[in-house]
Amino acid sequence: MHKPVFIAVSLFIVSFSLTAVGAQLVPDPPAIDADGYFLMDFDSGQVLAERKADQRMEPASLTKMMVSYIVAEELALGAIKPQDMVTVSEKAWRMTGSRMFIEVGDKVSIEELNKGMIVQSGNDATIALAEHIASSEESFVALMNQHAQRLGLNDTHFANATGLPNPEHYSTPRDLALLGKALIRDHPEEYKLYSIKSFKYNKIKQNNRNTLLWKNDAVDGIKTGHTESAGFCLVASAMQDNMRLISVVLGTKSKKARSTESNKLLNYGYRFYETHKLYGANQPLTKVRIWKGESEELPLGLNEDLYITIPKGQYKNLDASMSINAEIIAPAEKGRTYGTVNIVLGDKNYAVRKLIALSDVGPGTFWQNIVDSIKLAIN
């Protein structure tokens, strides 16, 4: 794939603009029958559609995405193991709502409980996991809120592990999309469990409530939720043509509606947008002159991959530019900012990223300092 490249115009600005070509127009998102919704690209973070994205709403069993995230964290740390056996408490056994149908006193593995929570949305499995990891649901909820803060879920607060209604239990369409993204990004093996279509325990087989797993081949997760007050909710994710989207619908009117409305959002995103990786992390985008250093060149690049999501057919219209500090004097520290990268399409700025030093450059010799001082004075 041809990428926008940079041609040096001066030390201060580096840019390249490609000739405009015909491009597909993008209509407004379709009407979505939900209290709130959100559609974003996984890699770029670009928001493609939203309504009441930051309004606090009940997440219902979408809450279990955070429980799942913490289970994956604990597994990665080695604090728990998939084969660890958990003794089911009376509290877990008595849980109402969706159930895995574990019995009080049963010894059930972490692996099975995790599937029971993810595939069957079992409240009983969720409480058993919470109690095993943190000794009590209350302590586990505190852990959930700590992770929410760490992940930047600024409008999310958990009051329980299952998603049962509580005035202090809320999230937003945006935060739930970010939680889904964190789960996929940080724990891809855990995320694979969300594509399991059915799970059998205690001779009871239950299907995954995410019916998009059957209706849309691109969909490989993620989680449903429902209470009378929250309505029918779904966070969905799909991968098509190396482009992953995450959709959120909250407060739809039925099981069918949450799938239909989610599908509308995903189809809209894939129909009218495309995602491109422009530059990789820690790869030199340019080398600039550094004065009074042990080297005369300083490689500059990005600290993370740069993706953009743009309307289809607009790739060749991108304008990429770099603004670089006029005079860079050694020493230079790896990771320090020395400019910015700007990606523009038409009159919209799609991305601004810091240009950082990709290596250290120490001070030059006494003689090098003298020579460069003279050159700088002449310039």
Positions marked active-site: 61, 64, 121
CA angle 276, 280, 281 (to 5 degrees): 135
Given a contact cutoff of 8 angstroms between Cβ atoms, the answer to whether 248 and 45 are in contact is no
Taking the C-alpha atoms of residue 93 and residue 110, their distance in angstroms, rounded to an integer, is 16
Query: Could you count the other beta carbons within 10 Å of the beta carbon of residue 171?
Result: 28
Can you spell out the DSSP letters for 305-359?
-EEEEEETT-GGGEEEEEEE-S--BS-B-TT-EEEEEEEEETTEEEEEEEEEESS
| Residue written as token pair 């969909």 | 219
The H or E element containing residue 145 is helix 137-150
Taking the C-alpha atoms of residue 70 and residue 73, their distance in angstroms, rounded to an integer, is 5
Identity of residue 325: N
**CA distances (Å), 67 to each of 128, 154, 233, in order?**
11, 18, 17
Taking the C-alpha atoms of residue 327 and residue 251, their distance in angstroms, rounded to an integer, is 55
Query: Could you count the other beta carbons within 10 Å of the beta carbon of residue 5?
Result: 12
